[in-house]
Structures are given as C-alpha cells and as structure tokens.
Structure 1
Amino acid sequence: MAGSTRRHFLKQAASVSIIGAVPTLSLSKTSIGKGSLITVSDGRLMLPTNMVIGGVPATEATDILKLHGITGNAVTPNCNTSIYRDGENTVLFDVGAGPDFMPTAGQLTDNLAAAGISPEDVTHVLLTHAHPDHIWGLLDDFDEPLFANAAHFIGRKEWDYWWNPETVNTIGDARVTFAAGARRRLQMMEDQFERFNDGDEVVSGIAALATHGHTPGHMSFEIRSGSEAALIIGDAIVNHHLAFHHPEWPTSSDQDADMGIQTRLALFDRILADDLSVVGFHFPGSGMGRVDKSANIYRFIGDAT
C-alpha cells in the first residue's frame, strides 16, 4: 500500500515553518435554553496550500485565501471540538486527533482541563465522522477508551463504511491510514458504540442531521431548546474561505465531491432560513459563530474568543 495522507501531510509540512502554529485555548461559550455550548481547541492542522486548492481555479482560490489573510505554502486550520452541558449531561462532539496524527493537533485533553472538564466528566461522545482528526483521540496512551464513562455514538452509515474490511482496499492510497486507523479504533470499542440514523434524537435535545459527502456517512447535530438552536457541522462545510465564497466548487478533502457540494448548499440554506448558530470544526478562532450572505457570497462571522 503506497503512502498515507498522514505521511503526505507531514512530509510536505516539514518544509513549512510552524512558528506560531501552537493554538490558544480558543474557548467560546453560548447558552441554549438551560444548557451551555462551548468549544475547545484540539490544536490545528498543517496542510500544504496546493492540497487545499486542488481541483479548483488556482488563481481565484489563491486570491480568496489572501482575502482571509492566508498566504504562503501552508494552511493551518483550527480543530474545534464542542461540548454541550445541560446540568445533567456533558456531551462531547468529536474527540480530536490524539497523539498519532499531527504534532500540531491532539491537544484536547489539556485544553479540556483548562476549561475545567475532565475526560471522566463526559457522559456522551457523538462523532460527526471517522477521519483521524475527529476520531483518533478516542483512545489514551494505553489504548484504553479515554472517555471511559461516556456512551459513544456514530451514524450507522458511517460505522458500516469504516467497519467494512474492504474500505481499506477501495478508499485510495492517500487515505489507507484513515481507514486502518478508524477500523482499529471502532473494533477496540465495538461494545461501547451505539449507532443512529438521520433524524434520530441521539441525546435529549440533540438531533442527527445527515450531511454526507465529506465521508459517506458524515452527520451534523442540531442542539435545540425551544427557539434557541445551534448546529454542529463537523466538516460538512470544511472551511470559512473557499467553501463560503464558492460552495459549488469541489472540496479536495470530500470523499464524494458532488455530494459534498449538494450538502453544503443545502446546509447554507437551512442555516440562514433558521438563523442558526454554527460550529465548524475547522473554522477560525473558536469555530463558533453565524453565517451571513451578501452579493451571493457567504461569510462566517465568528464569536469573540
């Protein structure tokens, strides 16, 4: 099996200066009914710029990145995990990269501690999808479940895809490590996982929303209390620049580019129609904010951190 995305990332990032790459806590908080939603950083990724703009008009894409202060040969998106606490439950959305993916990620445990939350406090873990920066943090240094007291949930279609032993042979060389790493973790924690479907209320007040394309079974989650709601979108909208300026462009990290486009356009419509707060896993700052649209261009308006 030739190469892996992890090795590809690290090889190309080796020539990129990572001075200033270590993130702050990136903590933001908002109230939803009697509960509170916060975001905590797991660090950030180091991606070659040519990987991010692959498959789209390079000159226009580069100009859009410059509008957002992104220049040079690297893009360093934040990794923002979300926690919802309602006085009874502490629900963690995605678990970060753990120590084995990138040296600039895997900081969730330390930053949770800084926010006053221990792994033992977490009652539920809800996964948007099983890419490394979202799932490899499931296990501790001894390959034991890090969130040992929590019930774990993943979409049924997403589970079936990564559980399938043929996925490692069909996913393509660049993502072989993604498939092997996901399946190993799901196998080790099979007894702890429950599966859910589109529209299911996974935890009281938290409903699943199918947002497939980035992965075959990618899920988002709507947290709602009365008229107050927020949408945890994972990587369904993977960044705040190209995907906002041109949601009709393919995104190189989407496993099904055409479905990813359909999902982004539908999500933007829903977010604006329902005036939803959003958390994007790779959005800037804390990842929490709102979406605006002007002159047919979407814009992410982040909360102050």
Structure 2
Amino acid sequence: MTINRRTVLAGLAAVPAATLVSGQATASSQPSADLQPVLHRFSFGDAKITVLLDGHLPLGPQLFADYEEEKARVALARGLHRMTLEGLNIPVNGYLVEQGARKTLIDTGTADLLGPNLGGLGAGLAAAGVEPAEISTVLLTHMHPDHSGGLVTAQGAAVFPNAELVVARQEWDFWHDDAIMASVPEGSRGFFQMARGTVAPYADRLKIFEGEAAVAAGFAAVPLPGHTPGHTGFMLDGGDQQLLFWGDVVHSTALQFAYPDWTIAFDTDPAQTAATRRKMFERAVADNLLLTGSHIDFPGLGRVLRQGESFAYQPAPWQFGL
C-alpha cells in the first residue's frame, strides 16, 4: 500500500470529532462505573482462551461508505440486529490466551479514551483471575484507540509492567510519521496522539515484526492491510486446527458479511480494506477456518459461510465442560 495524503484523508476526514480526545481522562470520556465484567471462555488445543468484552460502540449509517438504506433493511431483516437512533451497536472484544504459564493478551480495549460505554476489559481480566503483571505478551492488531487504549493508565503509565508489546512495523511507522500526521485534518490528529501515547511506555520492551512472522509462542502474524496500513491478524496453532484473531476485518456482523465492499470512515484505504475482506472471506470458506474478531457479535467465535454471491457468519456453539 502507498501511504499518502489522499489515502489518509479518505480514512480520517469523515471521523466525528467527538470520538477524539487528547488521551487525558475527562468527565465525558471516563468508562462507566456500572460496566460489569463480561467474558466467555473456551479451550483450543492446549490453550485456554477468554474473550473479554470492553463495551460497545454505535456505527451510524453516515459512517458507512456507499450505504444504501434498502440493502441495509434487507440484511437486517435476516436477523435480530436493529438500527437504533445512534446506529448499529457493535462490540469491542479483546482476548486472553493462556498457554501453560504464558499469558498473551490480544488487543487491550479502550480504557478511558472513548466514552462511558467502553473500558470494561480490565474488569473482565480481573474477573478471570489474572493480574496485569502476569501478562507476558500483548499482540496489537493495530493502533486504533479501541485496541491500544488499555495499554496505559490515565496518567500514561504502563498497565502491563512485564509485557512485551508486539506490533507490525508498517503500523508503528504509520502512526509515528510526523509528515502523515501533519497532512490529516487537525481534528483527526488526536488519533495519532493517542496511538503514540498508548505505546510509549513500552518502548524498552517492543517487538516489531514484518510480514508473516512468528510473533509469540504458537502465534503467526497474518497481514490484513487496509483498515490501517499495518492492520494484522494473529493465527494460533492448535495442532489439528487453527484459530485466526482477525482484528477489524469486519466491523458490522449484520452488514459486512452480506455486503463485503461496504467500508467505514475509519478505514484508511477503503479499496484495500474491501479487497482484504473478500480475500479473507474466501480463505475462511475454503479452509473452513475458525475465527474471531474484535467487533463480531460477542463472543465472536465462528466461521464464514458462502451465501450466493455474498457471505454469512455462523457462530460457534457454546463449549460445555471447559
């Protein structure tokens, strides 16, 4: 992907200014004290995985490129999703993967960056009986605030004092490029400030990777560019099967399986985002791949099915006897 002013503006110009804060906690950005821990556990090979719900975000029709009300109505009529006055509510999920004594966190939620309906991942981790100091590795799919916000406290200190932070080089370079930040609308520069602030305390224990690298025990990186330049999934080897944590390949379970070419305002390169999504859907169908995603309906574990010229999501059944 060529990173230039045009592709950056396409992804950031339409972002509502209300979603951006300086990175310091404010009265409007504090997570709600009423958020209760929500988690779901399942086993995969030798690993125990806990899905941690950070909260939810609304996606209004205005955030979808090429949104067509009638097409949306048809897709929503197939299930139980409903468009509210704020939009379609989508979850923000993070993941704890325990492999013996190793504890890996995939994305960290928002902490206090994006409003009162988010910030619950830390409470979920505590409910799972895990202290932040026990996390050995944090894998970041990308550096948007709903994925990296939980790395730091409101005072800017590291939440996970013993964790190695793992992030793709293209992702790191993008958010730390002063020329790119200067080229975007002033109101959208908060994304860059938040991205830099959340990862800064981990500079002395940072692992940068490129391409399809082995990034942690049992994990391989899967480049999924478009949503951000270095957006990455992580494939966990379970022996006789694999599980892909695919980050933000899909934001809306209700609409983007039905209409894979529908992108949102937060996609840095919409054309590449749609191409990556279709390629990943095709691979998931061909390989009967088990997957989970940051914004797939909680707990977000399932498979992709072909449905005519489009696709559908099949959630996995509840795993009993863990």
The one-letter code of the counterpart of 2:64 is I
Q: Secondary structure of 1:189's match?
A: helix
CA offset at residue 167 of structure 1? 2.6
Shift in CA distance, 6/127, structure 1 to aligned 2, threshold 3 Å: farther
Shift in CA distance, 117/110, structure 1 to aligned 2, threshold 3 Å: same
The residue number in structure 1 matching 2:227 is 214
Range that drifts further, 60-69 or 206-215: 60-69
Q: Secondary structure of 1:92's match?
A: strand
The residue number in structure 1 matching 2:254 is 241
Pick from 18, 23, 28 the counterpart of residue 8 of structure 1: 18
Give the Cα–Cα distance (whole angstroms) in 2 for the partners of residues 250 and 137 of structure 1: 26
Deviations 1:175-195 (A, max 9, x none): 321111112233343222210
CA offset at residue 73 of structure 1? 2.2
Shift in CA distance, 5/123, structure 1 to aligned 2, threshold 3 Å: same
RMSD: 2.4
The residue number in structure 2 matching 1:297 is 310
Give the Cα–Cα distance (whole angstroms) in 2 for the partners of residues 23 and 286 of structure 1: 17
CA offset at residue 252 of structure 1? 3.0
Residue 83 (structure 1) aligned with residue 96 (structure 2): yes
Q: Secondary structure of 2:96's match?
A: strand
Range that drifts further, 213-222 or 133-142: 133-142
Pick from 140, 148, 151 the counterpart of residue 138 of structure 1: 151
Shift in CA distance, 125/136, structure 1 to aligned 2, threshold 3 Å: same
Pick from 59, 83, 86 the counterpart of residue 70 of structure 2: 59
Map 1:149-160 onto structure 2 (within 5 A).
149-160=162-173
CA offset at residue 245 of structure 1? 0.4
CA offset at residue 61 of structure 1? 2.2
Deviations 1:229-261 (A, max 9, x none): 100011022221221001123333211000001
CA offset at residue 227 of structure 1? 1.9
Residue 28 (structure 1) aligned with residue 30 (structure 2): no
Q: Secondary structure of 2:112's match?
A: helix
Deviations 1:55-79 (A, max 9, x none): 3323312442344421232222111
Q: Contact between 1:251 and 1:260, CA under 8 Å: does it hold in 2? A: no
Shift in CA distance, 173/282, structure 1 to aligned 2, threshold 3 Å: farther
What count of residue pairs does the alignment treat as equivalent?
Answer: 293
TM (norm. structure 2) is 0.83
Using the aligned pairs only, state the percent identity.
28
Q: Secondary structure of 1:245's match?
A: coil
The one-letter code of the counterpart of 1:281 is S
Q: Secondary structure of 1:98's match?
A: coil
The residue number in structure 2 matching 1:276 is 289
Q: Contact between 2:37 and 2:123, CA under 8 Å: does it hold in 1? A: no
Shift in CA distance, 276/28, structure 1 to aligned 2, threshold 3 Å: farther
Shift in CA distance, 50/294, structure 1 to aligned 2, threshold 3 Å: closer
The residue number in structure 1 matching 2:268 is 255
Q: Secondary structure of 1:241's match?
A: helix
Unpaired segments ≥5 residues, structure 2? 1-11, 21-33
Shift in CA distance, 122/188, structure 1 to aligned 2, threshold 3 Å: closer
Shift in CA distance, 302/130, structure 1 to aligned 2, threshold 3 Å: same
The one-letter code of the counterpart of 1:58 is E
Unpaired segments ≥5 residues, structure 1? 11-21
TM (norm. structure 1) is 0.88
Give the Cα–Cα distance (whole angstroms) in 2 for the partners of residues 198 and 148 of structure 1: 27
Range that drifts further, 241-250 or 228-237: 241-250
CA offset at residue 174 of structure 1? 5.4
The one-letter code of the counterpart of 1:266 is K
